[in-house]
């Protein structure tokens, strides 16, 4: 569609950067796209914070949709305040607000200058990765509500959800991993330095005092490594033995124990200098690997549940018609609540007053909003799109139909399948082989020279530690996770990568997953429109709440809406009105053109005429994600594909053509239906991957072997998933799965490399000639070569993703 | 002569005591750094490792305020003296 602009130069809004169509909003020789943006600029300017605009260009967030006054009234309630704030003393309160709009350095700057906007705020500090701001304020001078309002008036409305008052939400940052790492590194370095005399003299240090002092110093340094840094291996190993589940930590713990014991014996009995350098070194390297692997991407919080989707505050109406804001969790059955335009309905309730058009796309997958009549029950989770309505509450928020899904057995924490990575199985084989070698060599030496038996057996167990296997796995996983993050597939943990490589069936949700919700595709065909014609059409379209009219309204550029006289809306036909002496008609072909259109295409057509002259037509259809056809074709050959949709079967012909005859397509699926379908597939020994986006997919995502939530806005996604994929990277899904399949290859290769080093070490160990210097050389050599190989291979395979 | 005697003979002292003092001192210093590291980790200084990198590039605005205040003062005294 081309808009003919007569001699107009495009300016962008000084605040948010969007194109300015209306010259009305301007001040200080700067233009703005709407009243909201101008207001925010005035506030920022008044408080002398204009550096906001110099740090980044157009840093503001578009203020087209203003925030309702009184939205934060529920923050006056003392009970709610107590639950939200993190800390309080006689003077101050601390609160952490989540601001999803944060996106640049200007945001950081202005959010740390909040004390200039509200004098009661002492200090505010931003954590950009988590998009949080910690505000410390004096609650005698200001209040929690005023802080929230101050943030809102500069364009950063805090996202306060039901999750914020849920119990036990404060997660302390786990520092012990890093401390253990630091201590083992410190001790490793110093023990190795103190062992230099021993290395250079090949075990025969001549100065007795030197040997004495350095050995005991080594022993002291090794104590924190053994008892503190290596403690996780012991705990995990013992747990594994108790549950008869030999995992990889058990043989590692055994190796560390034997190394330490033999070293103590040698030092105390003055028969040698021990292998403390190897022991602390291997602990250090393994801890690095584990830290690298467990470093999760902090902006994505995988522990969100349905509560973070629901708002915290809701308006309750009393008998006199006065609105009061209370917390959603305090709403009782029988209460009368008022839901404003664009708000989420938090509880199951009956419509009492107003016109309800509810958008359930995130919840059930239905793409078109549903109109409800008075007396009908409206289920929680939908978004009201046609103005304010009043409802009578039928169920409390924890009892609503939607949240019942979370009571399903699939979400039972206790029954979670134990994570059995393939490396645990390999380590079992490795351990058996190791013990066999130890026993065989023990037998050999018992026959030939009994004094060497203990020497040899302990040396074998020290050298052939499966530590290399753990190193291979952790560094491979850590690097692969980092690379996957680069391509915007964020996995919950390393085990997901392995699961991804095993799947054979992929189940897709439709609405929001393979279709893009925000961009219903609108195509205009007809005469080029002038700005005035756009204004006429938009003014007419914005009168109607029909979803198709709304699409047209949002498609056309924003401008002042003109007054419509004699407005008429004829259901099934279209709308008509007189605007500025022009008769504007919008609707079906029959209505506008007075002819029957026999064309049956996927999508709705809206025809437009001005003064009975046909201008053009808008075609609105489900917009499928870019590259969908290519992705489906590449996946079809490797996996079984299925589609489960909560929507009706209107798109069935198109989907059948796209996915092929062999793909099962099921429509009108409720959340439980989806979950049960996946369960059925798993009972047939299929490994299922589910891709979905909404709350209705949560059960299926949890039940499947890998649940991927696809999201166009990573702040807002479905809980219960194992990974999040950004919508724009959907077209490389096949390549991403292919990349994950390489994980096992890389781990096997580096493990084989480490076995070569083991052979060399074993060669000396079996002969009873394992000098500490040999172990001390082999250990870092093998560790570093493993790190290099895994990093190199995983980056090599990444080249396939890059294209 | 074996290697370790060679390395020790580099030290000017006739006995070995110097190396003990050196090692002891360096270990104490290193332990000091270790304690500082553990303290900083426990103090949550590494909880956010991105935002400080942005924060450091901002201009210090308090200087501007001082300038404005001194300017305001001189104007007031000037008008007062009129």
Domain membership flag for residue A512:
no
Domain membership flag for residue A62:
no
> Which of the residues A109, A199, A202 would you substitute to probe the B interface, choosing the one with the greatest number of B C-beta atoms within 10 Å?
A109
pLDDT digits (tens, 9 = 90+) for A469-524: 888 999 999 999 999 999 989 988 888 999 999 999 999 988 778 887 666 677 88
pLDDT digits (tens, 9 = 90+) for A128-144: 888 899 999 999 999 99
> Which of the residues A94, A186, A203, A219 would you substitute to probe the B interface, choosing the one with the greatest number of B C-beta atoms within 10 Å?
A186
Q: Which residues of A touch B42 (CB under 8 A)?
A: 175, 179
Q: Which residues of B touch A217 (CB under 8 A)?
A: 23, 27
Of A55, A57, A53, A27, the closest CA to residue A42 belongs to: A27
The bridge status of strand A121-127 relative to strand A521-526 is unpaired
Domain membership flag for residue A747:
yes
A588 in the same domain as A452: no
A533 in the same domain as A435: no
A199 in the same domain as A275: yes
Contacts with B70 (C-beta within 8 Å, 6 or more apart), sequence order: none
A44 in the same domain as A122: no
Contact B44, A174 (CB under 8 A): no
Contact A778, A761 (CB under 8 A): yes
* Average pLDDT of chain A to the nearest whole number: 84
What number is the average pLDDT over the span B46-54?
A: 86
- Per mean pLDDT, which of A204-218, A312-326, A695-709, A737-751 is the most reliable? A737-751
What number is the average pLDDT over the span A619-624?
A: 75
Number of domains in chain A: 5
Distance CA A247, CA A309 (A): 38
Q: What is the CATH number of the domain that holds A556?
A: 3.40.1110.10
| Confidence grade of residue B2 (pLDDT, cut at 50, 70, 90) | low
Distance CA A346, CA A325 (A): 13
Q: What are residue A47's phi and psi, to 5 degrees?
A: -90, 15
Expressed as residue numbers, the domain containing A335 is 310-343+348-394
Domain membership flag for residue A690:
no
Say which range, A402-406, A729-733, A779-783, has the weakest mean pLDDT. Answer: A402-406
Q: Do B38 and A179 touch (CB under 8 A)?
A: yes
A611 in the same domain as A525: yes
What number is the average pLDDT over the span A298-303?
A: 65
The pLDDT value given to residue A12: 85
Contact A360, A381 (CB under 8 A): yes
A268 in the same domain as A182: yes
CA distances from B5 to A12, A617, A743, B2, B77 (A): 78, 96, 51, 6, 81
CA distances from A359 to A67, A364, A382, A492, A547 (A): 20, 9, 5, 30, 10
What number is the average pLDDT over the span A59-83?
A: 82
| Confidence grade of residue A688 (pLDDT, cut at 50, 70, 90) | very high
Residue B80 contacts A where some CB pair is shorter than 8 Å: no
Q: ∠ CA A199-A204-A206 to the nearest 5 degrees?
A: 115
A276 in the same domain as A202: yes
Q: Which helix (H) or strand (E) holds A797?
A: helix A772-802
Contact A45, A14 (CB under 8 A): no
Distance CA A485, CA A651 (A): 33
Domain membership flag for residue A787:
yes
Residue A322 contacts B where some CB pair is shorter than 8 Å: no
Is the pLDDT at A5 greater than 80, yes or no?
A: no
| Helical spans, DSSP H, in A169-207 | 176-194, 196-200
pLDDT digits (tens, 9 = 90+) for A516-561: 766 667 788 888 888 888 888 888 888 876 667 777 887 887 667 7
Is the pLDDT at A769 greater than 90, yes or no?
A: no
Got the DSSP string for A7-49? Answer: S---EE-TTT-PEE--TT-EETTEE-SSHHHHHHHHHHHHTT-
Q: Which residues of B touch A186 (CB under 8 A)?
A: 30, 34
Is the pLDDT at A223 greater than 90, yes or no?
A: yes
Sign of CA dihedral A136, A138, A141, A145: positive
| Token pair recorded at residue A559 | 């401008």
Of A283, A332, A309, the closest CA to residue A183 belongs to: A283
Of A55, A108, A183, which has the smallest distance from its Cβ to B51's Cβ?
Answer: A108
pLDDT digits (tens, 9 = 90+) for A690-746: 998 877 788 888 889 999 998 877 666 666 788 999 888 998 999 999 999 999 999
Is the pLDDT at B14 greater than 70, yes or no?
A: no
Is the pLDDT at A45 greater than 60, yes or no?
A: yes
The pLDDT value given to residue A600: 45
DSSP, collapsed to helix, strand or coil, labels residue A509 as strand
Q: What is the CATH number of the domain that holds A83?
A: 3.30.70.100
Q: ∠ CA A105-A109-A113 to the nearest 5 degrees?
A: 165
Domain membership flag for residue A15:
yes
What number is the average pLDDT over the span A80-105?
A: 89
Contacts with A619 (C-beta within 8 Å, 6 or more apart), sequence order: A522, A523, A524, A525, A601, A603, A604, A605, A606
The pLDDT value given to residue A736: 93
The pLDDT value given to residue A165: 76
Look at the block and give the residue holding tokens 């690095």.
A288
A426 in the same domain as A288: yes
DSSP, collapsed to helix, strand or coil, labels residue A530 as strand
Is the pLDDT at B63 greater than 50, yes or no?
A: no
Domain membership flag for residue A482:
no
Return the DSSP state at B31: H
Q: ∠ CA A478-A481-A484 to the nearest 5 degrees?
A: 150
The pLDDT value given to residue B82: 45
* Average pLDDT of chain B to the nearest whole number: 74
Domain membership flag for residue A35:
yes
Of A128, A201, A213, which has the smallest distance from its Cβ to B54's Cβ?
Answer: A128
The pLDDT value given to residue A417: 55
| Token pair recorded at residue A354 | 């107003």
Tell me the nearest-neighbour CA distance from A278 into chain B, angstroms.
Answer: 20
DSSP, collapsed to helix, strand or coil, labels residue A360 as coil
| Confidence grade of residue A52 (pLDDT, cut at 50, 70, 90) | confident
Got the DSSP string for A273-340? Answer: --SHHHHHHHHHHHHHHHHHHH---TT--TT--GGGTSBSEEEEE-TTS-EEEEEGGG--TT-EEEE-
A270 in the same domain as A185: yes
Contact A317, A325 (CB under 8 A): no
Sign of CA dihedral A492, A495, A501, A506: negative
Q: Which helix (H) or strand (E) holds A204?
A: none
Of A191, A190, A207, the closest CA to residue A260 belongs to: A191
A195 in the same domain as A151: no
Is the pLDDT at A313 greater than 90, yes or no?
A: no
Q: What are residue A581's phi and psi, to 5 degrees?
A: 65, 10
The pLDDT value given to residue A593: 78
A78 in the same domain as A32: no
Q: What are residue A765's phi and psi, to 5 degrees?
A: -65, -45
Is the pLDDT at A349 greater than 80, yes or no?
A: yes
The pLDDT value given to residue A248: 85
pLDDT digits (tens, 9 = 90+) for A173-187: 678 889 999 999 999
The pLDDT value given to residue A603: 54
| Confidence grade of residue A602 (pLDDT, cut at 50, 70, 90) | very low
Q: What is the ipTM of this complex?
A: 0.76
Contact A460, A766 (CB under 8 A): yes
Distance CA A86, CA A58 (A): 33
The pLDDT value given to residue A707: 92
Residue A596 contacts B where some CB pair is shorter than 8 Å: no
Tell me the nearest-neighbour CA distance from B80 into chain A, angstroms.
Answer: 27
Contact A701, A676 (CB under 8 A): no
A414/A559: higher pLDDT: A559
Percentage of chain A exceeding pLDDT 90: 26
Q: What are residue B15's phi and psi, to 5 degrees?
A: -110, -170
The pLDDT value given to residue B9: 60
The bridge status of strand A3-4 relative to strand A529-530 is parallel
Return the DSSP state at A6: S
A290 in the same domain as A183: yes
Residue A127 contacts B where some CB pair is shorter than 8 Å: yes
- Radius of gyration for the alpha carbons in chain B, expressed in angstroms and rounded: 29
Residue of A nearest to B31 (CA): A186
| Confidence grade of residue A108 (pLDDT, cut at 50, 70, 90) | very high
Those of residues 29-58 in B touching chain A at CB distance below 8 A are 30, 34, 37-38, 41-42, 44, 46-48, 50-51, 54-55, 57-58
Distance CA A7, CA A18 (A): 19
Contact A30, A36 (CB under 8 A): no
The pLDDT value given to residue A283: 94
| Confidence grade of residue A23 (pLDDT, cut at 50, 70, 90) | confident
Q: Which residues of A touch B61 (CB under 8 A)?
A: 51, 113
Q: Which helix (H) or strand (E) holds A456?
A: helix A453-463
Q: Do B38 and A130 touch (CB under 8 A)?
A: no
């Amino acid at each position: 569609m081309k808009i003919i602009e007569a001699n107009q130069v495009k300016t962008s809004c000084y605040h948010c950067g969007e194109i300015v169509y209306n010259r009305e909003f301007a001040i200080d020789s700067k233009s703005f796209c709407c009243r909201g943006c101008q207001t925010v600029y005035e506030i920022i300017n008044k408080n002398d914070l204009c550096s906001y605009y110099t740090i980044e260009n157009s840093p503001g967030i578009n203020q087209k949709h203003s925030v309702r006054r009184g939205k934060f009234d529920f923050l006056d309630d003392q009970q709610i305040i107590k639950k939200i704030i993190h800390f309080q003393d006689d003077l101050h309160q601390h609160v952490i607000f989540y601001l999803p709009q944060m996106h640049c350095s200007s945001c950081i700057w202005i959010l740390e200058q909040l004390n200039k906007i509200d004098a009661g705020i002492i200090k505010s500090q931003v954590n950009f990765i988590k998009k949080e701001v910690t505000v410390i304020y004096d609650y005698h001078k200001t209040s929690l509500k005023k802080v929230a309002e101050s943030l809102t008036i500069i364009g950063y409305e805090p996202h306060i959800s039901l999750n914020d008052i849920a119990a036990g939400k404060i997660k302390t940052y786990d520092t012990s991993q890093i401390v253990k790492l630091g201590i083992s590194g410190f001790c490793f370095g110093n023990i190795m330095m103190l062992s230099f005399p021993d290395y250079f003299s090949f075990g025969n240090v001549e100065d007795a005092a030197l040997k004495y002092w350095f050995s005991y110093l080594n022993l002291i340094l090794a104590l924190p490594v053994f008892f503190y840094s290596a403690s996780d291996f012991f705990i995990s190993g013992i747990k594994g033995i108790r549950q008869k589940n030999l995992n990889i930590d058990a043989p590692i713990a055994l190796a560390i124990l034997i190394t330490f014991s033999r070293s103590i014996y040698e030092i105390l009995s003055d028969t040698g200098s021990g292998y403390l350098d190897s022991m602390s070194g291997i602990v250090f390297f393994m801890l690095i690997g584990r830290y690298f692997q467990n470093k999760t991407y902090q902006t994505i919080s995988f522990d969100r549940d349905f509560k973070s989707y629901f708002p915290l505050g809701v308006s309750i109406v009393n008998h006199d018609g006065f609105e009061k804001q209370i917390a959603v969790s305090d709403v009782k059955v029988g209460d009368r609540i008022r839901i404003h335009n664009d708000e989420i309905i938090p509880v199951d309730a009956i419509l009492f007053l107003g016109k309800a058009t509810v958008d359930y796309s995130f919840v059930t997958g239905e793409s078109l909003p549903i109109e409800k009549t008075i007396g009908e029950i409206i289920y929680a989770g939908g978004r009201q799109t046609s103005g304010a309505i009043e409802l009578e509450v039928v169920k409390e928020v924890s009892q609503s139909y939607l949240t019942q899904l979370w009571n399903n057995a699939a979400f039972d924490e206790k029954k979670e399948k134990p994570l059995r990575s393939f490396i645990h199985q390999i380590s079992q084989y490795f351990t058996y082989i190791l013990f066999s070698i130890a026993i065989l060599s023990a037998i050999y030496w018992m026959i030939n020279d009994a004094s060497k038996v203990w020497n040899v057996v302990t040396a074998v167990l020290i050298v052939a530690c499966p530590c290399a296997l753990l190193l291979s796995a952790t560094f491979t996983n850590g690097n692969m996770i980092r690379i996957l993050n680069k391509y915007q597939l964020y996995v919950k943990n390393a085990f997901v990568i392995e699961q991804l490589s095993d799947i054979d069936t992929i189940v897709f949700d439709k609405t929001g997953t393979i279709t893009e919700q925000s961009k219903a595709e609108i195509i205009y065909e007809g005469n080029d429109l002038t700005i005035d014609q756009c204004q006429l059409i938009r003014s007419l379209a914005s009168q109607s709440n029909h979803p198709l009219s709304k699409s047209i309204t949002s498609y056309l550029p924003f401008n002042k809406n003109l007054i419509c006289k004699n407005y008429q809306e004829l259901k099934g036909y279209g709308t008509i009105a007189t605007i500025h002496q022009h008769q504007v008609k919008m609707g079906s072909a029959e209505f506008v053109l007075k002819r029957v259109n026999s064309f049956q295409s996927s999508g709705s057509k809206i025809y437009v005429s001005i003064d009975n002259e046909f201008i053009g037509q808008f075609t609105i259809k489900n917009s499928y994600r870019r590259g969908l056809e290519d992705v489906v074709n590449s996946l079809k050959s490797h996996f079984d594909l299925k589609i489960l949709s909560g929507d009706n079967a209107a798109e069935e012909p198109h989907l059948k053509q796209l996915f092929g005859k062999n793909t099962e397509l099921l429509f009108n699926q409720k959340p439980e239906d989806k979950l049960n379908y996946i369960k059925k597939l798993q009972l047939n020994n299929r490994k299922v991957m589910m891709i979905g986006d909404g709350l209705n997919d949560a059960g299926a995502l949890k039940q499947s072997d890998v649940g991927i939530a696809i999201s166009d806005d990573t702040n807002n996604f479905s809980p219960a998933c194992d990974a999040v994929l950004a919508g724009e990277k959907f077209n490389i899904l096949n390549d991403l799965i292919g990349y994950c399949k390489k994980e096992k290859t890389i781990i096997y290769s580096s493990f084989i490399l480490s076995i070569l080093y083991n052979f060399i070490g074993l060669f000396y160990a079996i002969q009873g000639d394992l000098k500490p210097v040999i172990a001390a050389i082999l250990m870092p050599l093998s560790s570093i070569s493993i790190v290099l190989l895994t990093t190199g291979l995983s980056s090599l395979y990444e080249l396939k993703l890059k294209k | 002569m074996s290697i370790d005697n060679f390395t020790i003979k580099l030290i000017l002292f006739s006995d070995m005591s110097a190396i003990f003092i050196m090692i002891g001192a360096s270990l104490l210093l290193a332990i000091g750094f270790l304690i500082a590291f553990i303290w900083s980790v426990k103090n949550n200084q590494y909880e956010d490792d991105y935002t400080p990198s942005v924060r450091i590039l901002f201009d210090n605005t308090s200087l501007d305020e001082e300038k404005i205040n001194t300017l305001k003062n001189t104007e007031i005294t000037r008008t007062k003296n009129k």
